[in-house]
Amino acid sequence: MIGLETHIELKTKSKMFCACSADYSGREPNTHVCPVCLGLPGTLPIPNKTAIEWCIKIALSLNCNVSNISKFDRKNYFYPDLPKGYQISQYDEPFGLAGWIQLKDKRIRIRRVHMEEDTAKLTHQFGTQNSKLKTQNFSLIDFNRSGVPLVEIVTEPDFENAGEVTEYLQKLQQIVRYLDVSNADMEKGDMRLEPNISLAVSEQGLAVGNKSQQPKAKSQLPPYKVEVKNINSFRFVAKAIEEEIVRQSEILDKGETPLQETRGWDENKNTTVSQRTKEEAHDYRYFPEPDIPPIRFADSQISNIKSQIPELPDSKRERFVREYAIPVYDAEILVRERSDADYFEQTVKDGKKHNLTPKQVANYIINKKPNIEKTVPAELVELILVTQETKELDKEELEHAIELVLEENPKAVEDYKKGKTQVLGFLIGKVRTLLPPNSSSEGIRELIEQSLK
């Protein structure tokens, strides 16, 4: 039984509760900071309106209910990357509740979509030598990331294997990119993944995840769950899940219960490692953020945000198949990126005057992979037309094809000589089947007529 928490950084210009630039990637450490995001005494947070609207846009795109009243809360815990000693987040009244994402074979329920601030970034140094040649371990903190708008999307424990998790994450990444609210770049940490994994125990006493288990028996809700934190790769999250299923199965098959804990993923050893005992909600001592009043939305405001949502990938794929009569496979590839889909549609529009079909355009884009940033749709139409141009044939090649057709079709030759000239079209068609695609048909009729004299 697998649930997923996904954190997505929004690409707003400023941070969540202050005016500092949110563009911290590659910047000099601790240069995009101010008293607010450093958590200095006496500072007050001012919510970022755009970030809140983008969070609601994500929630609506995930089929969530957006309530008219929401609020921020303080999540209290002590860690070096949290300067205030608490994180401004949302607890019992998030912006989005009870949504879903449809996979190929099942629907994954979304429990909540809420808004919070990101933490500072820790860089751990191990075995570093100081000036006195003593080996030291220490951590460096960069507060440039502290306070960047962060949306957390929490699912119900509806996943049963790593494949379903990967499919869900790919669709989620695609949606937020279509909305243009985040780059969702895994390598830069724009999208961070935290699976919660536990195994139900069957009536026979074997872990359901055990490969030796017979067809799944009736199971009960596990009394524990293990969270693997801050994974930044679809491949690694799949590996972490698979490793945890094996590890937890071995513990359960001994009649023991795995610890409820937070673990990390060690990509060098391809295994999960224990970090700390997992906290429950009461451990964070949530209470309403006293410096930010509750946020109220009129129905018209929510409707206005909803009207700004573009056509999303699933709808666009279905329309491409219906409107352009292209295969589902082609449509799936074309809608992966919104820019590619828009480029395809504009090229189809520009190609109509040249009688190019959507299928011809799709084939060229999928197979040739043109650089859409350097080639405008009108130029692509010209390139496609060039590939569709007929090819001049060598006369000897054409004469050889005609000779073969006449030898194989003596009845048609006889009919022609009896005055049934309509068979000439039949013979021309047969010759064309022996020629390369897009070959010029010019001169075929004359050469056949000469051969039949």
Q: pLDDT tens for residues 144-193?
A: 999 999 999 999 999 999 999 999 999 999 999 999 999 989 888 889 99
pLDDT band at 392 (very low <50, low <70, confident <90, very high): low
Reduce the DSSP state of residue 272 to 3 states and report it.
Answer: strand
More confident of the two residues 445 and 389? 445
> Would you state the pLDDT for residue 343?
93
- Whether the predicted pLDDT of 54 surpasses 90: yes
> Would you state the pLDDT for residue 215?
38
pLDDT, tens digit (0-9, with 9 covering 90-100), for 317-360: 999 999 999 989 999 999 999 999 999 999 999 998 888 889 98
pLDDT band at 274 (very low <50, low <70, confident <90, very high): confident
Reduce the DSSP state of residue 189 to 3 states and report it.
Answer: coil
pLDDT, tens digit (0-9, with 9 covering 90-100), for 14-41: 999 999 999 988 899 999 999 999 999 9
> Would you state the pLDDT for residue 429?
82
CA distance linking residue 117 with residue 45, whole number of Å = 11
Reduce the DSSP state of residue 142 to 3 states and report it.
Answer: strand
For domain 395-451, give the fold.
Answer: Arc Repressor Mutant, subunit A (1.10.10)
Reduce the DSSP state of residue 288 to 3 states and report it.
Answer: strand
Sequence-ordered list of residues with C-beta below 8 angstroms from that of 326, at least 6 positions apart, any chain: 320, 334, 358, 359, 362
> Would you state the pLDDT for residue 436?
64
CA distance linking residue 5 with residue 141, whole number of Å = 24
Sequence-ordered list of residues with C-beta below 8 angstroms from that of 93, at least 6 positions apart, any chain: 67, 69, 70, 71, 294
More confident of the two residues 117 and 401? 117
pLDDT band at 119 (very low <50, low <70, confident <90, very high): very high
> Would you state the pLDDT for residue 188?
86
What does the pLDDT average to over 418-447? 75
pLDDT, tens digit (0-9, with 9 covering 90-100), for 294-323: 999 999 999 999 999 999 999 999 999 999
pTM of the model: 0.78
The answer to whether residues 196 and 8 touch, using CB atoms and an 8 Å cutoff, is no
More confident of the two residues 361 and 207? 361
φ, ψ for residue 142, nearest 5 deg: -115, 115
Tokens of 6: 């996904």
The answer to whether residues 214 and 202 touch, using CB atoms and an 8 Å cutoff, is no
User: Which of the given ranges, 55-69, 136-150, 231-245, 271-285, has the highest pLDDT on average?
Assistant: 55-69
> Would you state the pLDDT for residue 430?
84
Residues of the chain above pLDDT 90, percent: 49
Reduce the DSSP state of residue 69 to 3 states and report it.
Answer: strand
Average pLDDT value for the chain = 86
- Whether the predicted pLDDT of 221 surpasses 80: no
Amino acid in position 113: V
> Would you state the pLDDT for residue 131?
61
Q: Show me where the domains of the chain are located.
A: 2-197+279-301, 311-388, 395-451
